A and B are shown apart, each in its own frame.
Chain A
Amino acid sequence: MKFTFFHLMPYRPLDLEQRKKHRAAWVVLPNSLYDPKKGADEYQSYIDQLVYAEALGFDVIGVNEHHQTAYGMMPAPNLIASLLIARTKTVKIAILGRALPLVANPINIAEEFAMLDNLSKGRIITGFVRGIGNEYHATGLNPYFSHERYQEAHDLIVAAWTRPGPFAFEGEHYNFRYVNLWPRPYQSPHPPIWIPSMGSSETIRWAAAPERKYPFLVTFSARELVARYLNMYRDQAKEYGYEVSGDQLGWACPVYVADTDARAKAEATAGIETLFNDFLTSPWEMLLPPGYTSLSSMKNTMRMRKALGSRTKRQTIDELMESGTVAVGSPRTVREQIERLRDLTGLNNVITMLQFGVLPDDLTRRNMELFASEVMPRLRR
């Protein structure tokens, strides 16, 4: 089993009472609530944690991209990745991922990843995403064309990495007379591409295709859904005529370990509940702008919402533990939860979030150490 230490870099000093006066911690949350002195300290803590993960034996350290939000302070994750390259030796560095449709020129993404791959001598893992719905409010980009732009930007970036240049790219959204990457990527044919997703059948079908076989990571979902989506990927691979490898199947999840279940829960509660209720939660108009998902899946979502009633209550750590959306407990409890999903799906790729919400530095470090010493070794094959 492979382990990633993944960071969102939330802005923990956020005034949560002020936050409640706005519809989300995204896009419309006034940036007067950001204090640069505190923010600078946050960056320092988080980068130290990512560097420490190498010493603890994690296989991969990971960062990601979000815009105009206290949920994550990395609008430009490659800047962090570049710093991590300088401060680490062998650990892989994953950018999970860049939001392809949001940029006017995807060649810039191809170039930056190629630079990082050279700088790190091949330690880069890339992630291709569309950004969450809120990002389309933040950037003004039309979500109706999100899928089209994603496909096209993907094709352009992979071609830029692999086809001898210069060549011309002629698309609907992107048109370039000269595509001719200097530098080319260090890894051959190109850095790995991972696909983090909330799970949609279109994405699964596309990622699992034999010419891609991109590792698929299900994020922030209940155990049942994680298992369903990963097994959909497995079945899709079978349909394509090949057997999926566990390395293609990943699960991203907040994890907290302490010596007992009770202590773990007590220490993780504030972090978990702020992550899900204060930092992540957004109204559906922001999370699912028109076209971000297909019309048919949007119709289904609205039917489910109607059936369930709109959610105004805060999610509790008990509910999140019960549904398996988070893994919180003693080393044994957490290990068993991961084993359970492995048995259900054959996954081999665990992306841990060991800092989440307002979880402070000291607890984060102990959490990382306990996970590395008490959980990871027994799960390695």
Chain B
Amino acid sequence: MSVRERKHQVRDISVRLFRDGKGEKLLFLHGETGLPGWIPFFEALASRFDVLVPEHPGFGLSDNPPWIRNVADLALYYLDLVEALGAEKVHVVGHSLGGWTAAEMATRNCTQFNSLSLISPAGVRVKGLPAGDNFIWSPEETARNLFHDQTLAEQYLARTPSETEVDLQLTNRFAAAKFGWDPRWYSPALERWLHRIKVPTLVIWGRDDKFLPSAYGKVWSERVPGARLDIIAECGHLPHVEKADVTAEKILGFLGGR
């Protein structure tokens, strides 16, 4: 495997970044559970794209600067990061918190976006359909609620994480709270500005998402001009993990079919 892990510097902070593949640039923004490492999903995308997977500031081993206090700050940081990569356009793929961040970026400035793929994105509230309370869930509830396939949840629970992993999970939990606790996993302004996303957009959702209900997908597909909604059956909140092949195929198909 040729994946490279490095520290990537933008402004005065550095973040952890995985990178592999050749082709047009594709930026993946991870969700609130943190950077999953270099997973098969990235490998599949790297077959055709130059895949960049940064760990958000505040998460894991990345710096946690005091000037990033909310998702709007995070989005502007990533616009800085994309500009710093060069004039070339990028495909942006974001999961959950990362999808929210990607959408916030695109509403502000999508001139450097080639396309936008949102996997079970946070960021929009649907009244009467609250997000699952991930901050009150026990570790067991979390695993069970994130996956449709309970054998995956059980495999996850059977593992005893190392001390380092526990520390990283805690760091990620702190960062998740900073971005998503209040208002809970959405920005009141975002929905009002989704019409500004003027790039081809794909929205993917696991039908059995117990954290962010798949019914949210409808709002996204209605508000983002021309967006396509694709629901994956028998899948929870982490389609790129639980249904990595299907999810990668859908995104590659979307990107290839334009």
Where the two chains meet, the residues of A that have a C-beta atom closer than 8 Å to any C-beta of B are 23, 27-28, 136-137, 140-145, 283, 285-286, 289-291, 295, 298-299, 302-303, 306
- For A27, the chain B residues whose CB sits under 8 A away are 136
A139 CA / B109 CA spacing, docked (Å):
35
CB contacts (< 8 Å) of A144 on chain B: these are 174, 177-178, 181
Q: Is the CB of A285 within 8 A of B170?
A: no
| B residues in contact with A295, CB < 8 Å | 170-171, 174
Given contacts A289-B177, A291-B177, contact A141 B171 (CB under 8 A): no
B12, CB-defined interface residue at 8 Å: no
Question: Are A299 and B178 touching (Cβ within 8 A)?
Answer: no
The smallest C-beta distance from A132 to any residue of chain B, in angstroms, reads 14
Residues of A within 8 A of B182 (CB): 140-142
Report how far A303 CA is from B166 CA in the complex, Å: 9
Contact flags B164-184 to A (C-beta < 8 A → 1, else 0): 001100110110111001101
Residues of B within 8 A of A (CB): 135-138, 163, 166-167, 170-171, 173-174, 176-178, 181-182, 184
Q: In the complex, what distance in Å separates the CA atom of A283 from the CA atom of B139?
A: 11
Report how far A137 CA is from B166 CA in the complex, Å: 23
Count of A-B contacts with CB under 8 A? 54
* Complex Cα–Cα for A143 and B166 (A): 20
Find chain A residues with CB under 8 A from B138 CB. 283, 285
Residues from chain B with a CB closer than 8 A to the CB of A283 are 138
Q: Using A298-B170, A306-B166 as known contacts, say yes or no to A285 and B178 having CB atoms under 8 A apart.
A: no
Additional A-B contacts beyond A142-B178, A143-B181, A144-B174 (8; CB < 8 A): A285-B136, A286-B136, A290-B173, A290-B177, A291-B174, A299-B170, A303-B163, A306-B166
Q: Could you tell me the distance in whole angstroms from the C-beta of A337 to the nearest C-beta in chain B?
A: 36
Partner of A142, one of B136, B167, B173, B181: B181
Identify which of A289, A298, A302 contacts B135 (C-beta below 8 A).
A289
A88 to B155, CA, bound (A): 62
Cα distance A182–B171 in the bound complex, in angstroms: 44
B166-A291 in contact (CB<8A): no
Within the complex, the shortest CB–CB distance from A45 to chain B, in Å, comes to 33
Given known A299-B167, A302-B166, A306-B166, contact A285–B137 (CB-CB < 8 A)? yes
- Sorted nearest first, the 10 A-B pairs with minimum C-beta distance are A290-B177, A142-B181, A142-B182, A144-B178, A290-B174, A144-B177, A290-B173, A291-B177, A299-B167, A140-B182
Instruction: List 16 interface pairs A-B (beta carbons < 8 Å), by A numbering.
Output: A27-B136, A137-B135, A137-B136, A140-B182, A141-B182, A142-B182, A144-B177, A283-B138, A285-B138, A289-B135, A289-B177, A290-B173, A290-B177, A298-B170, A298-B174, A306-B166
- B174's nearest neighbour on chain A, judged by CB, is A290
Q: Which of B136, B137, B178 contacts A291 (CB 8 A)?
A: B178
Q: Which residues of chain A are within 8 angstroms of B173 by Cβ–Cβ distance?
A: 290
Residues of B within 8 A of A23 (CB): 136
Given the interface pairs A295-B171, A299-B167, A306-B166, the reply to whether A285 lies near B177 with Cβ below 8 Å is no
Choose one: B135, B167, B181; the contact of A285 (CB below 8 Å): B135
- A291-B170 Cα distance, complex, nearest whole Å: 10
B181 to A, closest residue via Cβ: A142
- By a CB distance below 8 angstroms, the chain B residues around A137 are 135-136
CB-nearest residue of chain A to B176 = A290
Pair B166/A290 contact, Cβ less than 8 Å: no
Task: Return A309 CB to nearest CB of chain B, in Å.
Answer: 13
In the docked arrangement, what's the CA distance between A204 and B135, Å?
28
Residues in B with CB closer than 8 Å to A28 are: 136
Q: In the bound complex, how far is the Cα of B137 from the Cα of A286, in angstroms?
A: 9
Chain B residues contacting A143 (CB-CB under 8 Å) are 177, 181
Q: Are A140 and B184 in contact (CB under 8 A)?
A: yes
- Cα–Cα, bound, A28→B181 (Å): 17
- Least CB distance from A148 to B in Å reads 10
Q: How distant is the Cα of A370 from the Cα of B70 in the complex, in angstroms?
A: 55
Interface centre among A28, A142, A302 (most CB of B within 10 A): A142
- Closest B residue to A134 by CB, please name it: B136
A180–chain B nearest beta-carbon distance, Å: 30
**What chain A residues lie within 8 Å of B136 (beta carbons)?**
23, 27-28, 137, 285-286
- Does A302 contact B170, Cβ atoms closer than 8 Å? yes
CB distance from A36 to the nearest CB of B (A): 27
The chain A residue sitting closest to B173, CB to CB, is: A290
Q: Determine how close the nearest CB of chain A comes to the CB of B26; give it in whole angstroms.
A: 30
Q: What separation, in Å, do the CA atoms of A142 and B176 have in the docked complex?
A: 11
Residues in B with CB closer than 8 Å to A142 are: 177-178, 181-182
Question: Chain B: which residue is nearest A289 at the CB level?
Answer: B135
Q: Which residues of A contact B171 (CB under 8 A)?
A: 295
Smallest CB gap from A24: residue in B: B136
A298 to B167, CA, bound (A): 9
Once bound together, how far apart are the Cα atoms of A302 and B163, in whole Å? 9
The distance from the CB of A134 to the nearest CB of chain B, in whole angstroms, is: 10
A275 to B170 CA separation, bound complex (whole angstroms): 29
How long is the Cα–Cα vector from A223 to B136 in the complex, in angstroms?
A: 31
Smallest Cβ distance from A29 to chain B, in angstroms? 13
Chain B residues in 8 Å Cβ range of A140 = 181-182, 184
**Complex Cα spacing A27 to B133, Å:** 12
Question: Smallest Cβ distance from A35 to chain B, in angstroms?
Answer: 26
